[in-house]
Amino acid sequence: MSIEVNNESGFAVDEAEFAALGRHVLDAMHVHPQTELSILLVGTEVMTELHVQWMDEPGPTDVLSFPMDELRPGTDGDPTPAGLLGDVVLCPEVAAAQARAAGHSTAEELLLLTTHGILHLLGYDHAEPEEEKEMFALQRQLLLTFLAGR
């Protein structure tokens, strides 16, 4: 599995932990081991530009996902084909504000957002209540099993 983490935000993070989380999520979702994933951390200015350009929404956001090969989760006996999963773009400054409001660390918020972004790359969404329930339960389970294993 090729997981590239680039921190262009100036915010101190443990890049190896993001790669380990990505590997954990992709393994749990039965994604082919030769799949490629990119995780990028950017500042608010860059995130604002991306948010306006791709979502037509003002201001920065916490996470954006840019799928490439539109891969979907596999099963134990039938993993997804190898391919380019896509890019997860995170904004640590927005995540820090959300973490303060939620009462947990910025690191935990960034890991949650990374999991959330990867699930979007795998086709999960939360536009409808049932989709949200499924996606949020799965992201919680994936994050908890990752945190328990470190």
CATH of the domain at 137: 3.40.390.30
* This prediction's pTM: 0.94
120 is in an annotated binding site: yes
Is residue 20 a contact partner of residue 5, using CB atoms and an 8 Å limit? no
- Range of the structural domain that residue 61 is part of: 2-148
126 is in an annotated binding site: yes
| Domains held by the chain: number | 1
For residues 109 and 111, give the distance between their C-alpha atoms in angstroms, rounded to a whole number: 5
24 is in an annotated binding site: no
Q: Residue 1: is its pLDDT beyond 90? A: no
Q: For residue range 116-143, list pLDDT tens digits in order.
A: 999 999 999 999 999 999 999 999 999 9
For residues 81 and 34, give the distance between their C-alpha atoms in angstroms, rounded to a whole number: 9
